[in-house]
A = this chain, B = another copy of it.
Amino acid sequence: MIPKDHPRYRSLVAREQLARCAREGIVAPEGLAAHGRGEAFDYLLGEKTTESAALAERTAAAMLLAARHAVISVNGNTAALAAAEIAALQRASGADVEVNLFHRTQERIERITRLLTEHGVRVLTGTPERIVPLSHDRALSLPEGIGDADVVLVPLEDGDRCAALREMGKAVITVDLNPLSRTARTASLTIVDEVTRAIPAIAAACASLEPGEGERLIASLDNTYLLRAAIDEMRERLAHALE
């Protein structure tokens, strides 16, 4: 048991949750390594939502609400960490939710769908087709889901898939703690924040945008500024790390 007053309680609980889901086959071993990379960058952010991340989250809410058809693409790590948060964001934004895996097996799709459903997510079902320009089963998506979407939120995504969705002309919002990753640099909007902080923040913003605020946020979106701000936070923290 991790004591609740441990300074890194949330981070340690998330790691335990993910290791448990790995033992159950919901999270791939590669997903655990990816989570570790995120932990390192979150540590450099002080494990909190920065001002620029909060701006990105508000902009993400504006984009989801303004979309013709918004879809949230959920993988194993996101389901393991934030199933309830995804359900709340779906309610707040009206977005569809589709399960989409890098390490895809029918069994993992079913386990993750079950986990999401148990937490109140309405998961799109249907017959996946090779829609996204990627090799192998990573191309598989639902024609009536990601195939039809104009805005896709893909938390914790890999660079190839992010780029392929952009090439299809979609607006891509990602949540990625590494501001240097190809995903972070390829997405239309990158939220450099931990997923269980980011998803509730987007949901809260969906409910609190002022009239006209959404249009202003979308018009002034500058992803390079957001990445630069995250990097500056990390540099500043490193500078004082040994004090």
Q: Please report A residues at the B interface, Cβ cutoff 8 Å.
A: 15, 18-19, 22-23, 28-30, 32-41, 43, 178-180, 185, 224, 227-228, 231, 234-235, 238-239, 241-242
Contacts and interface: CB of A to CB of B under 8 A. Distances in A.
Nearest to A239: B235
A32 B28 CA distance: 10
B35 A33 contact: yes
Nearest to A36: B36
A15 B40 CA distance: 16
A17 to B, nearest CB: 11
Contacts of A239: 231, 235
A241 B178 CA distance: 11
Contact of A33 (B39, B178, B227): B39
Contact of A241 (B15, B23, B180, B242): B180
A82 to B, nearest CB: 17
A55 to B, nearest CB: 18
A22 B28 CA distance: 10
A132 to B, nearest CB: 21
Contact of A178 (B40, B228, B242): B40
Nearest to A39: B37
Residue in A37, A43, A239 with the greatest tally of chain B CB atoms within 10 Å = A37
Contacts of A228: 242
A224 B40 CA distance: 20
Given A235-B235, A241-B180, A32 B23 contact: no
A19 B29 contact: yes
Given A180-B241, A227-B242, A235-B235, A30 B37 contact: no
Contact of A40 (B18, B22, B29, B41): B41
B235 A238 contact: yes
Nearest to A185: B242
A45 to B, nearest CB: 12
Contacts of A15: 30, 33
